[in-house]
Amino acid sequence: MKIAIIGSGGREHALADKIADCKSLDELFIIPGNPGTRKLGKNIRISPDDHEAILRFCLEHGIELVVIGPEKPLAEGLADILRKNGINVFGPSKQAAKIEGEKSFAKKLMKEFGIPTAGFEIFDKNNYDMAIKYLHKISYPTVIKADGIAAGKGVIIAEDLEDAKEAIKECFINSSFGTAGDKIVIEEFMTGQEASVFAITDGTEFILLPAAQDHKRIYDGDKGKNTGGMGAYAPTPFVSEKDYELISQKIVEPTLRGMREKGTPFVGCLYCGLMMTNQGPKVVEYNCRFGDPETQVVLPLLDGDFLELLYSSACGKLSKSVIYNNGASVCVVAASGGYPDKYLSGFEIYGLEKKNDFVKIYHAGTKEIDGKIMTNGGRVLNITSIIRNNDLKEAKRIAYNALNKINFEGIQYRKDISDKALI
């Protein structure tokens, strides 16, 4: 099979790595890819924003499956254009991608189909006074979310009424989140451990992959600003066998049914961001794609034919061709100094060649110049350990050992990835 992966981050490197191992693969293209994916297939210099050029490339090269990594091309309808031209796509249509891009859409869907999530109300810019009135009726902390995609910054946890009023002002009056904040969701604050569960689906049938836990904040102990993710591990012990059943029955099945009934069936990877509360798993958010960096720790835990899983899902006849291999994986993100605020790029990365069988180094923000690998982004590398037994402590040790051999100017990383599971 000839496959094209769209994207250039650590998630896409991990996808390429897994697909490159599959027997049915003939040729792999990554559009545009990164210096890591170049070793696994051909990087093609086309921007993920240039849908016409991607379509032309796929038609000219007889691509049989396109796997779309990031949310932006999905939200902008890349899957629709490709499908209209007869190309199989792993990833949802523009309409179905709203499950991530419009929080109010997702919340209404959950309410209508009885899917467990935080209680909520939706307000738009014209209801400023009503939103303020509502703030007087609720308990604190509360959560205020911009409706649209706000680069991971659109969620405000308000400790008290004053905080909440300020947050609403930021959205409606100061337009701090642009048009993404013209509508807001005010929701109940939930407590518990967070987990990310991927459901791979053809729109009806689905399979759950092992649950991961992300680390979104920049500093140890979940302190500091939110980032794109500073590390992850899988499987997480906070999701039990019983929880997987509940997630299947009470969350994924009704979500997919709801999407079908709305005429926008969801095909691809439904990412369920969950809070494991003492009343069971509840949805914090959905994403319409594989998570980053969770993908880096989930895919290595799958035995079987991963490409068959993606292809069969894209073709509407899911084949549950993978199983959990009883392993464990820890991924630590090495980031540029200053990230998630301003940072410098262009520093040479040392120590990349010193690897062993239990370590994969996925490239996220790198660039090759004259044969040297340089930093080229906020999140630079994903140092990932993979072992065949479920021993997170050992997986953590191996990941940090590997990380110690790597260096670039300003390198920063969290030292506590997976610790929540180890205490």
CB 220 within 8 A of CB 420: no
Measure the CA–CA gap between 291 and 215, rounded to whole angstroms. 12
By CB under 6 A, the residues from 307 to 346 that bind ligand AMP are none
- Compute the distance between CA of residue 421 and CA of residue 409 in angstroms, rounded to an integer: 31
197 contributes a contact to ligand AMP by CB under 6 A: no
CB of 67 to ligand AMP, least distance (A): 23
Using the rule CB under 6 A, which residue among 229, 254, 265, 327 binds ligand GLY? 229
Dmax over CA atoms of the chain, in Å, equals 62
| Residue 325: C-alpha distances to residues 100, 212, 305 (Å) | 30, 15, 12
List the single partner that 284 binds among ligand GLY, ligand AMP, none, CB under 5 to 8 Å by kind. Answer: ligand AMP
Among 12, 194, 214, 308, contact with ligand GLY (rule: CB under 6 A): 214
The least CB distance from residue 33 to ligand GLY, in Å, is 19
Of the candidates 247, 320, 319, the residue with the CA atom closest to the CA atom of residue 282: 247
Count of positions on this chain that bind ligand GLY (CB under 6 A) = 6
Rule CB under 6 A: is residue 189 a binding residue for ligand AMP?
A: yes
- C-beta closer to ligand GLY: residue 93 or 287: 287
Residue 135 CB, nearest distance to ligand AMP (Å)? 15
Q: Give the shortest CB-410-to-ligand AMP separation in angstroms.
A: 26
Tokens of 220: 């140890």
Task: Based on the shown chain and the rule CB under 6 A, indicate whether residue 48 belongs to the binding site for ligand GLY.
Answer: no
User: Does residue number 218 form part of the binding site for ligand AMP (CB under 6 A)?
Assistant: no
Residue among 29 and 233 whose Cβ is closer to ligand GLY: 233
Residue 118 vs 180, nearer CB to ligand AMP: 118
Interatomic CA distance for residues 374 and 367, integer angstroms: 5
Under rule CB under 6 A, residue 292 binds ligand GLY: yes
- Residue partners of 261: CB distance under 8 A and separation at least 6: none
Name the residue nearer to ligand GLY (CB basis): 272 or 386: 272
Task: Provide the H-helix boundaries in 29-181.
Answer: 51-61, 71-75, 78-84, 98-101, 103-112, 128-135, 161-172
Rounded Cα–Cα distance for residues 200 and 40 (Å) = 23
* Stretch of residues binding ligand GLY (CB under 6 A), selected from 24-32, 286-294, 335-343, 409-417: 286-294
Pick from 291, 327, 340, 378 the residue near ligand GLY by CB under 6 A: 291
Identity of the amino acid at 36: G
- Taking CB within 5 to 8 Å according to partner kind, which of ligand AMP, ligand GLY, none is near residue 285? ligand AMP
* 212 near ligand AMP, rule: CB under 6 A: no
In the chain, count H helices and then E strands: 14, 24
Beta carbons of 265 and 96 less than 8 angstroms apart: yes
Among 17, 64, 202, 294, binds ligand GLY (CB under 6 A): 294
Task: Name which of residues 260 to 279 contact ligand AMP (CB under 6 A).
Answer: 273
Q: Are strands 231-234 and 183-188 parallel, antiparallel or unpaired?
A: unpaired
22 versus 78: smaller Cβ distance to ligand GLY? 78
Within 10 angstroms of residue 370's Cβ, the number of other Cβ atoms is: 5
CA 90 – CA 69 distance, rounded (Å):
9
137-196 residues near ligand GLY, rule: CB under 6 A: none
What are the backbone dihedrals phi and psi of residue 231, each rounded to the nearest 5 degrees, phi first? 160, 165
Among 80, 285, 292, 294, binds ligand AMP (CB under 6 A): 285
Q: How many CB atoms lie within 10 A of CB 325?
A: 16
Q: Which of ligand GLY, ligand AMP, none does 118 bind, CB closer than 5 to 8 A by kind?
A: ligand AMP
187 sits near ligand AMP (criterion: CB under 6 A): yes
Binding status of residue 190 toward ligand AMP by CB under 6 A: yes
284 near ligand AMP, judged by CB under 6 A:
yes
Q: Which is nearer to ligand GLY, 229 or 378 (CB)?
A: 229
Number of residues that bind ligand AMP (CB under 6 A): 12
Per CB under 6 A, which of residues 353..412 are in contact with ligand AMP? Answer: none
Question: Got the DSSP string for 247-290?
Answer: IIIIIIHHHHHHHHHTT----EEEEEEEEEETTEEEEEEEESS-
Where along the sequence are the contacts to ligand GLY (CB under 6 A)?
214, 229, 287, 291-292, 294
